[in-house]
Amino acid sequence: MLSVNSLVALLSATAVYAQQSAYGQCGGTGWAGATTCVSGYTCFETNEYYSQCIPGSNPVPISGGSAPSTTLMTSTISSGSGGTPTTSGGSSATGGPGTTLQSGYYWIRAVEAPNFHDYLQTSPEYVPGTAILDSYTTAGQFQIVSGQLVELVSGGLLYANVEMMANSTVNKLSVTFSTTKNTYGTFAFSGDAVQWDGTAVGVARQNLSAWLVCTNQTLWINLGAYGYMTPAGCADETIHYYNGATAVS
C-alpha cells in the first residue's frame, strides 16, 4: 500500500517528467507545469512571465534590453498556412505564423506607388534571407523589440541585420534577416513609420524614415534624402506598420 507521502512524491515526479504539448505553456513566473516540450518542439522564453512550446529545435530567445511594449508569442502559430515546413541545416522545421496577425505583431508595408501595399517579408519566405517588399499573400509578421526589428517564424525569431557602410560613397545599405541579432544601428517605430538610426555607429542620415525598394523588390536603407537623387533601379518609400487582422492589397 502506498503512503500519502509516496503518492505525493510519485505525482510530483510525474508532473516533472510530463512534456508539454505543441503550443502549450512551458514556463514563466509562477508556472508549476511541464517545462519540457514534446518531440519536435522547444520551450521558447517569450518573457519572464511566459514560455511556450513552439516548433523547431533552435529557438532564438529575446534577451537583454528593456521589455517589449507588447507581449510577444502569447498566441499560437496557426497550422496549415505559411508554407510547407522544410528542413534547413539538418533539424529545424521552418514556417511562419500564416495569414492571421498574431498578438503583439504587425504587418509592415509601403504606402506609395510603385510599391503600394507591398509587405515586408524575407526571400525565401520565413527563413534567413534578403528583406523584400512583396505580395500581401506572403507577408511576414514583425515587431520592434529593444531596437531589433524581429520577424516571427517557427522556431523563434529572425532579426533584421543592416549591412555595414563600406565607405562614404555608399548611398544605400542592404537589410537581411538572420538568426543573430543586428549590431549595426537600431530600429524604432516613429508613429507607424519604421525607422533605422545609425547615429551610434557613425552613419548620419537626412531622414530616418527613408527606404528604397530596388531590383527584385529588395529593401534598402536610404542614406540620402527621401525623393532626391534616387539610385537607379530604386524607388523611394517609407514603410509603416499595419495591424489589421489580415494583410490586404
Ligand X SMILES: *[C@@H]1O[C@H](CO)[C@@H](O)[C@H](O)[C@H]1NC(C)=O
- The footprint of ligand X (CB under 6 A) covers 166-167, 169-170, 207, 209-210, 215-216, 226-227, 238
Of the two residues 31 and 228, which places its CB atom closer to ligand X in the complex? 228
Of the two residues 10 and 225, which places its CB atom closer to ligand X in the complex? 225
Minimum distance from residue 210 beta carbon to ligand X (Å): 6
Residue whose entry in the numeric block shows the C-alpha cell 525607422: 195
Q: Of 115, 79, 116, which is closest to residue 99 (Cα–Cα)?
A: 79
- The amino acid that residue 128 corresponds to is P
125 and 56 in contact (C-beta within 8 Å)? no
Minimum distance from residue 213 beta carbon to ligand X (Å): 13
Of the two residues 5 and 167, which places its CB atom closer to ligand X in the complex? 167
C-alpha 56/C-alpha 71 separation (Å) is: 21
Minimum distance from residue 188 beta carbon to ligand X (Å): 13
**Side-chain-side CA neighbours of residue 245 (13 Å):** 0
Of the two residues 71 and 207, which places its CB atom closer to ligand X in the complex? 207
Give the 3-state secondary structure of residue 121.
strand
C-alpha 54/C-alpha 116 separation (Å) is: 33
Residue 220, CA distances (Å) to 131, 192, 230, 239 in order: 8, 18, 12, 11
Minimum distance from residue 29 beta carbon to ligand X (Å): 41
Minimum distance from residue 220 beta carbon to ligand X (Å): 12
Of the two residues 15 and 225, which places its CB atom closer to ligand X in the complex? 225
